Chains A and B, each alone.
Chain A
Amino acid sequence: MSTESLTFTEKYDLLGCIQCGRCTGGCPVTVRADLNVRQFVNDAYDEEKLDELARLAEIWDCTACHTCAVRCPKGLKPLEVLIGLRSLIVESGKVEPRVRDALQSVLLEGNPWEKSRAMRQDWMEGLDVRIAEPGEYVENLFFVCCTNAYDPRVQVTAKNMVKILNKTGVDYAFLPEDESCCGSEVFTLGEEGLFEMLVEDNTEFLNEFSAGRIVTLSPHCFTTYKTHFPDLKHPVIHYTQLMDELIQEGKLAWKGELPKKIVYHDPCYLGKQGGIFDEPRRILKSIPGVELLEFNRSRERSLCCEGGGGKMWVESESRKERLADTRIKDAKAMGADLVAAACPFCILTLEDAMKGLGYEEEMRVAEIMELLGEFVEV
């Protein structure tokens, strides 16, 4: 059966749903938005109602945290119903200009940030970076992620990575500048055609390289490659796994101390979806001086920061407290000096919240790689 011929009901297995409500019950955005994903799973059965459903504003409130999918007892992915509805809007061309521009930019420049492809490796300036050549074997092949490559706030992740790799003598190389967006946000924004194209092109591009594994810097690329790229020939890991390995093997030399109370925020794409919980914590704990705290809602119960699901380009209409604000307030209440994460989107949303709340003086939001850059001898 080809996917083309599947009805909405078949494609999303709507009849498998028992309307138990676990999806909506777990959905983090229900506290601030009108989104009820279970209701959509129920209502989308009526094909004639689809256009009407697609016009509801709340379909854009989903952050693609995947809590609904992880919790569903019947193996459905409720959020994909919302994505399916988004795709009806995208197809009709009636999408918000910011979304349209981001998608256009992925198509033309290989990134959603409306930056030119030629600038993709500008972050490397002043660094001695090894670049991969097709066919030449490398143990760790790095995929940098559009956000890490272009956003000045999080470029530090990639930069520090290079410095540490050069120092430790790990066999690595970064992809050349034809590297394109993994499509994570293209998928969640509902641009099905573009996403399919990215899967095809990226699979072909990445398979030309000979590598032990692909190391991703963003959890979004990590999970997207793992779940949506069936023909990718390389195993994919997240950089926290590699750093954890290096620390366990004693390959990183520490300098200085960070006598701070750090609380780690689990990115949804790394934890809930990727199953990586312990590595980032082990890394943080090994930084000299660090006292690691735990959110009450951590690991499998982590609260989403609302950075995914295309939310970088769609502002929520709700005026209620943002989840990133809740997160920062919780961190503050427990006496944390620093909130650490290992995801560019989390860093951007959490830091924004911290600044908005006026905690800049007493608190800091940092990428794990940022801290490693400061406390590892390079």
Chain B
Amino acid sequence: MIEKPKIGVYICHCGINISSTVDVETVEEYALKLPNVEVARTYSYMCSDPGQALIKEDIKEHDLNRIIVASCSPRMHEPTFRKAIQEAGLNPYFLEMANIREQCSWVHQDMEEATAKAKKLITASVAKVRLLEALESTEVDAEPAALVIGAGIAGIQAALDIADAGFKTYLVEKTPSVGGRMAQLDKTFPPLDCSACILTPKMVDCASHPNIELLSYSEVEEINGYIGNFDVKVRKKARYVDFDKCTGCGDCATECRVADRFPSEFDEGMGKRSAIYLPFPQAVPAKYTIDPEHCLYLKRGKCGKGPKCQEVCGAGAINFEQEDEFVEFKVGAIIVAPGFDPFDPSRKPEYGYDDYPNVITGMEMERLVSASGPTGGKVLINNGEEEIEPKEVAFIKCVGSRDESVGNEYCSRVCCMYTAKQAHLIREKLPDAKIRIYYMDVRAFGKGYEEFYDRVRRENVRYIRGNPSEIFKRGNKLVVKVEDTLNSRPLEDEVDMVVLGVGLEPRAEMRQVMDLLRLSQSGDRFFLEAHPKLRPVDTATDGVYLAGCCQGPKDIPDTVAQAKGAASSAMIPLARGKVTIDAQVAEVNEATCRGCGFCVEICPYSAIEMVTVNRFGHEIEVARVNEALCKGCGSCSAACLSDSIQPKSFRDRQILPQIAALGVMK
């Protein structure tokens, strides 16, 4: 300590959040008596402009060199106050926050005790703030490019926005085509746009945009680095079709020896495809792919006298020698958009989904009413005996959502509206059908949604308030066992077809993406955002953003809005061209480091590596911190046996006096 500390203490009322439980005036008086404290003040909202101005003026007038703000958690406002004191000419790290809200006023009722505790917290801050050292944050260049994982509507929209802003964008999609779930939908709720009509142009733009490199049928294998500088490695899976030669004519699929034999993923297994296939007519890229699981030649080494596809392909595009390729590139930001899985109703065996062909999911219903679907848009269903046009159709909502018995407590947010939409589509096609929707609540919260719900009811769609318990068969009818809870009447309704309004679940394989990027899940198992309200597209990993249903169930309007939000966040480092590296990171004392590597293992951000240095002529290993990756969490310092690694501003010599001042340590 060279200069004498001159401390200012600023005690916030936080409206009445703090002052109703903590006697701030008494605390002010008390603070003034603490060593080196020159000024102490209270104010209604310290974070407001006048509050900040108060601190700045005092710094100038009283020559303060250390500041304590006794208010809320540093999580929100530490950056605010650092900036304020920096503007007044102080090093921004000469700040300490005493959290007298979350750690005091919000959790205590007794004013006397809460006031005493606030005093202690401030005493502790005084003990520490004098020991803080000036730190300088650094800047590194950011690669002006982005990676987007997943090309559903979320990924597509995010990629288009970033590319339109002039940045190179790599769009990686696992399946042979972009489009995701939205491509499978027939019409989309309010106001019933044809899904293909509004999506296809965007899909085409992805492939033709000069700034987008579309890597379809590809998966990210490896990501290293940090915000501004991620190194990415992508596996392009072999399609066994020469991408440049294939004209998309489809002769191969027609002639394939096992043509139209396998369930089409796009048609939810209700339609069939060949071993060589285009997932759907508007697929982008319009290039065929051989499915190695089903191709006779790839599976058994033999396809008749020779592969038919090869024989008929006029462009000579079939290439069985093709192997997976790897591409590597650098990006400054990453958007994660791998979407969702529809709930699998086999997990609710009481609905008989596995037993009855006329119990189908909402996703299957989308294909059934679609003009490009397996029935050409006709509502036809097999009732176990014959193909019929159903006269009575039942929808069950909340299947797999709001249901602790399957471990999903959340509402899936789209099934109320998509069942209404599908009921409307069936009404259009079957004007005389009896349509019932069994519900426990109707959640029509979006713009135009309640109006649509009103319209569908008036189209003679009966809403019955009761969540069915069971489906079984009687003759060739399905029996829906349910209670109409509005009149307390248990019913056994006989219908021809049941549509299960399945909810949305996190992708089964999301673990892979989680591990690549060290993302976390929230309680509902979707990806966790940095803050539920204020940072909904950010993650705990800087430079990595979330878009679409991977973060939680969403309709298309919300998905697109979030994708645009993620794109705009991702563009901040790209547009600036630089990223600031926080100075409050761990530092190694190489002279005492024993090279044991405990810290490397413990660091949750993989920010530490072992390097070889020359110490007095000996090559030895020591730990080194990558400051861009380090979050200053301090895990390393707890693990280090020789106290050789410590986070700046949280060194033992700074925090031990602080703890001692709390009076909890001998």
Contact = CB atoms under 8 A, between A and B. Distances in A.
Nearest to A277: B349
Contacts of A71: 350, 405, 469-470
A22 B467 contact: yes
A341 interface: no
B440 A18 contact: yes
Interface in B375-433: 398, 402-405
A162 B349 CA distance: 36
Contact of B481 (A19, A26, A299): A26
A67 to B, nearest CB: 7
Chain A CB within 10 Å — which of B403, B441, B488, B490 has the most? B490
Contacts of A30: 483, 490
Given A25-B481, A36-B483, A75 B469 contact: no
A36 B469 contact: no
B220 interface: no
B488 A73 contact: no
B469 A25 contact: yes
Contacts of B402: 18, 73
B405 A70 contact: yes
A153 interface: no
A300 B469 contact: no
Interface string B210-251: 000000000000000000000000000000000000000000
B473 A25 contact: no
A73 B467 contact: yes
A27 B490 contact: yes
A26 B483 CA distance: 8
A31 B440 contact: no
B482 interface: yes
A251 interface: no
Contact of A301 (B349, B465, B466): B349
Contact of A73 (B404, B473, B474): B404
Contacts of B472: 296-297, 301
A26 B485 contact: no
A21 B469 CA distance: 8
Q: How large is the interface on B (under 10, 10 to 19, 20 to 34, 35 or more residues)?
A: 20 to 34
A300 B473 CA distance: 14
A13 to B, nearest CB: 11
Contacts of B398: 20, 73
Interface residues of A, number: 27
Interface string A7-47: 00000000000111111111100110000101100000000
B491 to A, nearest CB: 8
Chain B CB within 10 Å — which of A20, A30, A31, A71 has the most? A20
A309 to B, nearest CB: 18
A246 B305 CA distance: 50
Contacts of A24: 469, 483, 485, 488, 490
Nearest to B404: A75
Given A296-B473, A300-B350, A19 B485 contact: yes
Given A38-B483, A301-B350, A20 B488 contact: no
A98 to B, nearest CB: 28
Nearest to A36: B488
B482 A25 contact: yes
Given A26-B481, A38-B483, A21 B466 contact: yes
A21 B492 contact: no
A296 B474 CA distance: 8
Instruction: Report whether over half of chain A's contact residues are helix, strand or loop; otherwise say mixed.
Output: helix
A74 interface: yes
B362 interface: no
B338 interface: no
Contact of B483 (A18, A21, A72, A74): A21
Contacts of B468: 22, 25
B150 interface: no
A300 B349 contact: yes
B294 to A, nearest CB: 30
A31 B491 CA distance: 9
A36 B490 contact: yes
Nearest to B441: A18
Contacts of A75: 404-405
Interface string A268-300: 000000000000000000000000000011011
A299 B352 CA distance: 11
A20 B465 CA distance: 8
Given A67-B469, A73-B402, A296-B473, A20 B485 contact: yes
A23 B481 CA distance: 10
Interface string A67-85: 1001111110000000000
Contacts of A27: 469, 490
A46 B375 CA distance: 54
B403 A73 contact: yes
A71 B402 CA distance: 12
A75 B402 CA distance: 11
A25 B470 contact: yes
Contact of A21 (B349, B470, B471, B485): B485
Nearest to B490: A30
A297 B478 CA distance: 12
B405 A26 contact: no
B473 A20 contact: no
A279 to B, nearest CB: 17
Contacts of A23: 469
Contacts of A299: 349
Contact of B482 (A18, A19, A21, A70): A21
Interface string B615-651: 0000000000000000000000000000000000000
Interface string B442-468: 000000000000000000000001111
Interface string B3-18: 0000000000000000
A236 B469 CA distance: 30
B473 A26 contact: no
Contacts of A301: 349-350, 352, 470-472
Contact of A31 (B352, B482, B485, B492): B492
Contacts of B485: 19-21, 24, 38
A67 B472 CA distance: 15
A25 B349 contact: no
Nearest to A25: B469
A26 B474 CA distance: 16
A21 B350 contact: no
A26 B481 CA distance: 6
Nearest to B492: A31
A67 B490 CA distance: 14
B104 to A, nearest CB: 28
A36 B487 CA distance: 11
A72 B471 CA distance: 16
Can you list the 10 inter-chain pairs with the closest CB atoms, starting with the nearest? Answer: A26-B469, A25-B469, A21-B483, A21-B466, A30-B490, A73-B403, A20-B467, A24-B483, A21-B485, A20-B440
6 contacts: A18-B402, A25-B483, A26-B470, A27-B490, A73-B403, A301-B352
Given A26-B469, A71-B405, A72-B405, 20 more contacts: A20-B398, A21-B482, A21-B484, A22-B467, A22-B483, A24-B483, A25-B490, A27-B490, A36-B488, A38-B485, A71-B469, A71-B470, A73-B403, A73-B404, A74-B404, A75-B405, A296-B472, A296-B473, A296-B474, A301-B352
Interface of A: 18-27, 30-31, 36, 38-39, 67, 70-75, 296-297, 299-301
